[in-house]
A and B are shown apart, each in its own frame.
Chain A
Amino acid sequence: MDEPLVRWDWIARNWDNGSPLAIRTLLENHVVMAFAPVLFGLLLALPIGLACARWRLLYQPATAVMNIVYAMPSLALFSILLSVTGLTQTTVIIPLTLFSLAVLIPAVVDGMTSVPDHVRQSAVAMGFRPLRRLLQVELPIATPVVLAGVRVATVASISLVSVGALIGQGGLGALFTDGWQRQFYTPIIVGIALIVLLAVGADLVLIALQRLLTPWSRARRSA
């Protein structure tokens, strides 16, 4: 009798069985390790990106550094970090934060560049001082471009977390190693399905957020 491709009974038994490899636990770890880097990345990318937009000379060197980090194999980054942070989630979150910076810094710079010069000039002429101009005029207008970067970084981060399985911190990635070792496909299929669902779900949430935050830009595109 053929083994079915997906053994639903295995999923039911392993969904929430209290073990560290329970699917639900892995899913939760995955979510944490995927979103933390985007959040930290955004917090870092905002000041760095604003500085690069303000002092253009910084931008070239900053992107060069970011691209080198991006090109570095995650495995190499893990092994460097292992000696400092050990087999923890932090060891996965740090490299992923660096990866997301490589997307988010250019997004912030492009966002600031997308503010039309005549709009910036008229803000100055109305009597905005620099900080208020940044918070009330420039950042809101940059938001659609920055959010587009956040979507890319989020989806990339969700899929990259599984690499952490190499050091036992891969979230749903653990299902892949488990499945390959036992030549048992159900965990692998479950892992892929959940990661894809997570990515699509997160993207939909971000699209909704974008429509909510920037009604003026959605309307502009459809006009």
Chain B
Amino acid sequence: MITFDGVTKRYADGTVAVDNLSLEAASGTITVFVGPSGCGKTTSLRMINRMIDATAGRILLDGQDVKAIEPATLRRGIGYVIQQAGLFPHRRIVDNIATVPYLLGWDRKKARARAMELLERVGLDPKLARRYPFQLSGGQQQRVGVARALAADPPVLLMDEPFSAVDPVVRASLQEELLRLQSELHKTIVFVTHDIDEAVKLGDTVAVFRVGGHLAQISDPATLLSEPADDFVRGFLGRDRGIRRLSFIPAADVPLSPPPPELVLAEGKPVGWKLDGGLRPYGSFNPATDSLRAALDASLLSANGLAVAVDGDGGVLGVLGRDALDAAVSGVARG
């Protein structure tokens, strides 16, 4: 667990970047720091591994004050990923990933073997190991950055806007990848972003900062969306809060009806609606894995408003009518 206890950072020029911050980042979870530019996210993050030292207050790592740990030793036990990946241009990918193991004095063979294992773990082709960083795409470099941070298996991972320099499609896949890794590794992750959608998607806990380094609200994403603490948070969350909140409600419990005869099937899988003498589009969702938001989306995509429920293989389970959907959604709104 990472604990901020009354932490303040005042820079030499008098700027107060973080003001009396107290919060906890629970072990094995992702805590996201989100907020507008200049609100002190990076400063807060860097005080954890002492790249910046706090002016006042304490930061505890599992109860131990970070100021009691020699900086280089502390940092070797904390993975760190930044926006531009920060890979060493003069080292091959495998040696970039093995950086911290080398620093810890592992022998070369063991460090490289570990690096190769991580390369695959983050979804990269082992053939890339012999390349130099400039020979990789931005998204691939970012994956290498994550692999490098994980190399010595640190319990804590700090990530400062790691995915903001890549295009939206790549960003989405990197986010999925991080969630998949986290479900296997259970690291204590502090993740900085200015993108509220990313915060809500990745965070087990989201801490919203306002300029001046004040904590505006800290809670789980669904609560944040439904009960913003004040106008600042409400404004920062932006539009569509209601619909976005549906992402956190599983669609597992919605009542399904048997598929009507208009649903055209081929080998048990939906093809479209036979309406007005033609084949019209349909929308589908998987109740086992999808949220109410996906169910609503499927309903809106279907020509007749019936969302088609399918299993993992695409086989039809039933349909969800507007009335049933409406009941489920109103249940959420009532809380």
Q: Does A124 contact B (CB under 8 A)?
A: yes
Interface flags, A96-124, vs B, CB<8A=1, else 0: 00000000000000000000101101111
CB within 8 A of A126: which of B80, B83, B132?
Answer: B80
Task: Closest B residue to A223 by CB, please name it.
Answer: B134
Interface flags, A148-163, vs B, CB<8A=1, else 0: 0000000000000000
The complex places the Cα of A119 from the Cα of B87 at a distance, in Å, of 6
Which residues of B are found within 8 Å of A141, using beta-carbon distances?
88-90
Q: Does A12 contact B (CB under 8 A)?
A: no
B80 touches A122 (CB 8 A): yes
Q: Does A182 contact B (CB under 8 A)?
A: no
State whether A126 and B103 are in contact (beta carbons under 8 Å apart), knowing that A121-B51, A137-B88, A140-B90 are contacts in the complex: yes
B76 touches A219 (CB 8 A): no
Q: Does A216 contact B (CB under 8 A)?
A: yes
How far apart are B128's CB and chain A's nearest CB, in angstroms? Answer: 14
Which residues of B are found within 8 Å of A129, using beta-carbon distances?
72
CB within 8 A of B103: which of A122, A127, A140, A143?
Answer: A127
* Majority secondary structure of chain B interface residues (helix, strand, loop or mixed): mixed
The complex places the Cα of A137 from the Cα of B89 at a distance, in Å, of 9
Which residues of A are found within 8 Å of B83, using beta-carbon distances?
118
Which residues of B are found within 8 Å of A220, using beta-carbon distances?
89, 132, 134
The interface size bin for chain B is 20 to 34
Which residues of A are found within 8 Å of B132, using beta-carbon distances?
215-216, 219-220
Q: Does A40 contact B (CB under 8 A)?
A: no
A125 touches B72 (CB 8 A): no
B89 touches A127 (CB 8 A): no
The complex places the Cα of A98 from the Cα of B85 at a distance, in Å, of 41
| CB interface residues, B 261-309, toward A, < 8 Å | none
Task: Closest B residue to A120 by CB, please name it.
Answer: B86
CB within 8 A of B84: which of A118, A127, A214?
Answer: A118
How far apart are A41's CB and chain B's nearest CB, in angstroms? Answer: 24
The complex places the Cα of A121 from the Cα of B81 at a distance, in Å, of 11
The complex places the Cα of A185 from the Cα of B287 at a distance, in Å, of 96
The complex places the Cα of A119 from the Cα of B82 at a distance, in Å, of 10
Which residues of B are found within 8 Å of A140, using beta-carbon distances?
90
CB within 8 A of B75: which of A124, A132, A216, A223?
Answer: A124
B89 touches A119 (CB 8 A): yes
State whether A122 and B90 are in contact (beta carbons under 8 Å apart), knowing that A127-B75, A219-B132 are contacts in the complex: no
Which residues of B are found within 8 Å of A119, using beta-carbon distances?
86-89
State whether A125 and B51 are in contact (beta carbons under 8 Å apart), knowing that A137-B88, A219-B134 are contacts in the complex: yes
B86 touches A122 (CB 8 A): yes
The complex places the Cα of A125 from the Cα of B89 at a distance, in Å, of 16
Task: Closest A residue to B134 by CB, please name it.
Answer: A220
Q: Does B31 contact A (CB under 8 A)?
A: no
The complex places the Cα of A2 from the Cα of B81 at a distance, in Å, of 78
Q: Does A15 contact B (CB under 8 A)?
A: no
CB within 8 A of A121: which of B72, B73, B86, B134?
Answer: B86
State whether A126 and B51 are in contact (beta carbons under 8 Å apart), knowing that A121-B82, A137-B88, A220-B89 are contacts in the complex: no
How far apart are B187's CB and chain A's nearest CB, in angstroms? Answer: 16
Given pairs A121-B82, A125-B75, A126-B76, 5 additional interface contacts (CB within 8 A): A119-B88, A125-B86, A127-B74, A219-B132, A223-B135
Q: Does B8 contact A (CB under 8 A)?
A: no
Q: Does A128 contact B (CB under 8 A)?
A: yes
How far apart are A186's CB and chain B's nearest CB, in angstroms? Answer: 49
Q: Does B99 contact A (CB under 8 A)?
A: yes
Task: Closest B residue to A139 by CB, please name it.
Answer: B90
Interface flags, A191-223, vs B, CB<8A=1, else 0: 000000000000000000000001111011001
Interface flags, B36-51, vs A, CB<8A=1, else 0: 0000000000000101
How far apart are A7's CB and chain B's nearest CB, in angstroms? Answer: 52
Interface-centre pick from B83, B99, B158 (highest chain A CB count, 10 A):
B99
Task: Closest A residue to B132 by CB, please name it.
Answer: A216
B86 touches A118 (CB 8 A): yes
B134 touches A125 (CB 8 A): no
Q: Does B100 contact A (CB under 8 A)?
A: yes
CB within 8 A of B134: which of A118, A128, A216?
Answer: A216
The complex places the Cα of A183 from the Cα of B73 at a distance, in Å, of 73
Q: What are the 10 closest A-B residue pairs judged by CB atoms, nearest first?
A: A122-B86, A127-B76, A127-B75, A125-B80, A216-B132, A118-B84, A118-B86, A127-B72, A140-B90, A220-B134
